[in-house]
Structure 1
Amino acid sequence: MDPWASGHHLKFETAALTHPGHVRRFNEDSIFGDGERGVWVVADGMGGHRDGNLASAMITDAARDVGKAASLTELSFAFRRGIDAVNAELLSRSQGHPDRIVGSTVVALLTHDGNYCCLWAGDSRCYLVRDGRIEQLSHDHTEVQDLVDRGIISQEEAASWPRRNVVTRAVGAIDDFELEQATGVIKSGDRFVLCSDGLTGHVKDEEILAVSSRLSATQASHELLKLALARGGKDNISVVIVNVVDRGATTLVMR
């Protein structure tokens, strides 16, 4: 896969890593990146090692099948259509077994002609690092985030809330499924970080900011993974970094 693509003279330096962590025997995360088409994805499967891995792999396969688009709207529509098909297939597989839902979170970054679209369901995240600041473009679909949004608990209390990992929206979990989205204009120097909760469970936003700001995409992905593993690596860990640069080259790392 070519990590370089241009749109309005923008080029993307990208890198991606996934790791099972220290506790889980199997990796249910799947990652995908294609700078030529402007599609990057992190999916975190749920339902046991076989089923969870299947669900997340179906999502990255759907991303792989998205063709080149004439506009960001067309690219977004094609991606949504693929995810809707995965959702229907996963629901069909679990039909008659309501206690055995197989699903996956997903977060995707789509780019075209100097614009971006972030699409997500669940608690895998997309960050934008710009001008020395970090912004979480996605908004977690979790029970604990809902409690924070409603003012029932504080952000500090959320960090240790017993059900903080309970997801309220995921591919394969509900019939009335829809991806949430955030859009914007890309600037030279922007850095996007996509990750599963295996990373954010151990690494703070300000640390993601510091690491991604000073290192190349490849170096930053390795450093963030190293931090999460050093702090326990209790879950599968995935990180995809997309840097908007003017020149240079790197190799997309997929592990």
Structure 2
Amino acid sequence: MRNLLFAERERLGGKLSEVALRIESYGVSHKGCVRLVNEDRFLIEPQSGLWLVADGMGGHAAGEAASSSIVEHLATIGVASSAPDLRARFEDRLSRAHDEIRKLSQARGATIGSTIAALLAIEGRFACLWSGDSRVYLIRDGAISQLSRDHTEVQELLDRGVLSAAEARTWPRRNVITRAVGVTEEIVMDFRQGETLPGDIFVLGTDGLTTHVADAEIEAAVISAAPEDACGHLLDTALSRGGTDNVTIVVVRFTGAGQAPSTHPGGNGS
């Protein structure tokens, strides 16, 4: 039974790129300065055209199990023959993880789930897909834009005009999420898609990053640095400001055809 629903946020125009782009990518994950366990996970599969971060929820190691299930299932995605094939493989693996997490929830009698923010890239195109408050950013032509939109209670209040941006920053329930994989009967995700261009940099991060590091600081960290160095700098910044949650970052840079790629799995900090 199909249990993966997509609500498209926006279509990004442009014809397919004729330039064969190479990719540099790197990821890091750390438990932070307060939490005892790291319930975040990330996946880097450049040959498949897939990168993702996941932030588990549920406590008592359940959140770790949820985010791990997403990574383990999507790690089997393989090499797709086309963009539709890649999308179908992604949906299939995520649906399997969703079902597994729901079975675990029923067995434990508790709500268990995980956010996900993913980047798919193939044939000169990209799609970013998300559920929850993990984010996807695009840095292009020297400017950063948040492609994802948080699925949180505070974002809904902002959208309705109930809260101002200043009020949202101190709202006591600002971390209450309204969507996550494994929580509801069906997965509901938003997505955006577009053309990949030389010089594009994507940053995927859990809320342990974005709680402590502003968008402009993310842009400054990645715009002229190798993905590994950018990840290290962003992680150090989040930890130096308290590291109140697990922190996970994946940086993906699309370079010109003549430049050598660097696709590192990155580190998984304690």
- TM-score, normalised to structure 2's length? 0.89
Q: Structure 2 matches for 1:146-157, cutoff 5 A? A: 146-157=156-167
Match of 2:53 among 42, 45, 48: 42
| SS of residue in 1 equivalent to 2:81 | coil
Give the structure 2 partner of residue 254 of structure 1: 267
Match of 1:30 among 41, 58, 64: 41
Give the structure 2 partner of residue 160 of structure 1: 170
Q: Structure 2 matches for 1:17-166, cutoff 5 A? A: 17-95=28-106, 100-166=110-176
- C-alpha offsets along residues 218-255 of structure 1, whole Å, 9 cap, x if unaligned? 11000000000000000000000000112134351232
Query: Where do 5+ consecutive residues of structure 2 fail to align?
Result: 1-17
- State whether residues 23 and 263 of structure 2, in contact with CA within 8 Å, keep that contact through their aligned partners in structure 1: no
Q: Are 2:203 and 1:199 equivalent residues in the alignment?
A: no
| SS of residue in 2 equivalent to 1:214 | coil
- State whether residues 69 and 100 of structure 2, in contact with CA within 8 Å, keep that contact through their aligned partners in structure 1: no
Higher relative contact order at CA 8 Å, sep ≥6: structure 1 or structure 2? 2
- CA–CA distance in structure 2, aligned partners of residues 173 and 8 of structure 1: 41
RMSD of aligned alpha carbons: 1.4
Give the structure 1 partner of residue 223 of structure 2: 213
- State whether residues 43 and 124 of structure 1, in contact with CA within 8 Å, keep that contact through their aligned partners in structure 2: yes
Identity of aligned residues (%): 43
Give, as a single letter, the amino acid of the residue that structure 2 aligns with 1:71: S
- CA–CA distance in structure 2, aligned partners of residues 73 and 155 of structure 1: 38
- CA–CA distance in structure 2, aligned partners of residues 181 and 58 of structure 1: 21
- CA–CA distance in structure 2, aligned partners of residues 16 and 45 of structure 1: 17
- State whether residues 52 and 204 of structure 2, in contact with CA within 8 Å, keep that contact through their aligned partners in structure 1: yes
Give the structure 1 partner of residue 15 of structure 2: none
Query: Where do 5+ consecutive residues of structure 1 fail to align?
Result: 1-6
TM-superposed deviation, 1:214 = 1.9
Poorly superposed stretches of 4+, deviation over 4 Å:
none
Match of 1:190 among 192, 200, 225: 200
Give, as a single letter, the amino acid of the residue that structure 1 aligns with 2:24: E
Q: Are 2:33 and 1:14 equivalent residues in the alignment?
A: no
